[in-house]
Amino acid sequence: MTDAIKKTASCLCGAVRIIANNPSNKVGACHCGMCRKWGGGPFMEIDCGTDVLFEGEGDITVYNSSSWAERGFCKICGSHLFYRLKESKQHMLPVGLFDDQEHLVFESQVFIDKKPLFYSFSNKTNDMTEAETFEMFGSP
């Protein structure tokens, strides 16, 4: 049996600390319009599943961004903290929040057909269009 992996993360001001138990080491990017509007660019995230603990929960504000997902941020510094699927409580956390970013692999991009032409990643990734993403994960 292998030891559980714990990764720690925090917002910019440190008011919210996060412990993710057994997160993926794979980084994904979402190019949908909502993610780009939320963060000013693609949402670079790690799937942390459902075993995520928050310290400083009183400083977290949650925005109901769609019928299936919500987005959390620190109400003090504004750092984006998570994209969370409502039904499963699966958390995708911004990669930049993590204290240790070693051993991460940029693996996938979704909504690749919505990516603006003014940027492009050189990494070889598994890419899915909007239609392919909704087919795999369910339509909105």
The token duo for 125 is: 């990734």
Q: Which pLDDT does position 133 carry in this prediction?
A: 86
- Report the distance separating Cα 84 and Cα 1, nearest Å: 29
* CA distances from residue 31 to 23, 39, 112, 116 in whole angstroms, order as listed: 22, 11, 6, 8
Q: Which pLDDT does position 2 carry in this prediction?
A: 55
User: With 80 as the cut, is the pLDDT of residue 61 above it?
Assistant: yes
Which tens digit of pLDDT belongs to each residue from 93-126?
999 999 999 999 999 999 999 999 999 999 999 9
- In percent, how much of the chain has pLDDT > 70? 95
Q: List the domain boundaries for the chain.
A: 6-135
User: With 60 as the cut, is the pLDDT of residue 10 above it?
Assistant: yes
Q: Which pLDDT does position 138 carry in this prediction?
A: 63
β-strand partners of 80: 73
CATH classification (class only), 6-135: mainly beta
Q: Residue 12's closest CA among 90, 71, 91, 99? A: 99
Strand order in the sheet with 126-128: 60-63, 69-74, 80-85, 91-94, 43-49, 26-30, 105-110, 126-128
Average pLDDT taken over every residue of the chain = 94
Q: How confident is the model at residue 3 (pLDDT cuts 50, 70, 90)?
A: low
- Report the distance separating Cα 58 and Cα 17, nearest Å: 12
- 8 Å CB contact between 14 and 93: no
Interval 15-35 mean pLDDT: 97
* CA distances from residue 4 to 21, 26, 46 in whole angstroms, order as listed: 7, 16, 17
Q: Environment class of residue 19 by beta-carbon count within 10 Å: exposed (0-12), middle (13-18) or buried (19+)?
A: middle
User: With 80 as the cut, is the pLDDT of residue 27 above it?
Assistant: yes
> If DSSP codes are grouped into helix, strand and coil, which group holds residue 79?
coil
